[in-house]
Amino acid sequence: MRGCSFCQLGVFKHADMRGHSAVFCVSSLCSLLVCVCWWEVAAYKHVLLLHGLRDGPQQFDDLITYISETHPGTNVTALDLYDGEKSLEPLWEQVEGYRKAIYPIMESAKDGVHLICYSQGGMICRGLLATLPDHNVHSAIFLSAPLAGQYGGISSLDHWLSRLAKLLVSMFCYTALGQRVSVCNYWNDPHHRKLYLKGNSYLALLNGEKTHPNISEWKENFLRIKKLVLIGGEDDGLITPWKSSFFGFYDEQENVVEMRSQNWYLHDVFGLKTLDMRKDLVQCQFSGIEHIRWPHVREVYDSCIEKWL
């Protein structure tokens, strides 16, 4: 246990009463320090890790090492669900699968849990936080996640071809068949809002862009978290626009509208503004980090994650 090596004390023998009294005091002090050290370890909350698209729990190997070094004794679970190609399954189905796996952990973690949600895992966490009425998530940490949606990822193509390819993606994604693919559940085409609002069955509901009877309840559930931590950067190369990691997104001219200027923030539709006003919303921006590297960069962990665990 961190900081407890000084508890390995020897026994001091002395003939007079003061010596015996000293033995008692040193032993008592050691016991007290052991209790303090045990409390320090016990105070670390269980950490749950949700992986990204077409990957699995192994992508968190470095992150688990960092947690064990800075918070020894922490229970860390990298959830082994919807790995590889199975991560393409519809997000509502994945939310239900993760709920069944996570709920028993939450029930046994009386002091609460932390969520670290990477990439597409962040979209699953949004669904969990909205629909779990009695979750005990303390810190929800979103690591380069397309929280306001995705519109891109094909930047290597020529501009005109890219626009055509995106249109074709939208025409597929906003069909019933397209919504059976996870990526389509958060594909957000700013040029075809009617198609998006009509066809999207996941992100548009979470954002309250489509009216539904559960929006007030989902907002209350979302606001149960104590800290919302958003991590992203301009060199990500995959999340498009990268400001989606901070709940920013394109307008119809593909200008990025920052989080605090989004309608669902201004009207506090799902609780983001309340968290911000509570000073429980943190944004952590890093340059020079490609998308696949986020869980492996120690500086990101030290600066943006460790303090909230």
Q: Which residues are catalytic, by number?
A: 119, 236, 291
> Looking up tokens 């000084």, which residue turns up?
6
Rounded CA separation 56/211 (Å): 34
Rounded CA-CA distance 165/159 in Å is 10
Burial of 134 (0-12, 13-18, 19+ CB in 10 A): exposed
DSSP assignment of 58-116, as one string? Answer: GGGHHHHHHHHHHSTT--EEE---S-GGGGGS-HHHHHHHHHHHHHHHHHH-TT-EEEE
For the chain, give the longest Cα–Cα distance.
93
Helices (H), the chain: 17-42, 61-70, 91-108, 120-131, 159-173, 193-199, 203-206, 215-222, 263-266, 272-277, 298-300
The two tokens of residue 240 are 């498009």
d(CA 42, CA 289) in angstroms, rounded, equals: 33
Q: Whose CA is closest to 52, among 101, 125, 103?
A: 125
Q: CB-based burial of residue 188 (10 Å sphere; 0-12 exposed, 13-18 middle, 19+ buried)?
A: buried
Question: Of 23, 13, 185, 24, nearest to 90 (Cα)?
Answer: 185
- The DSSP call for residue 280 is -
d(CA 184, CA 199): 10
Look-up of token digits 């501009």: 159
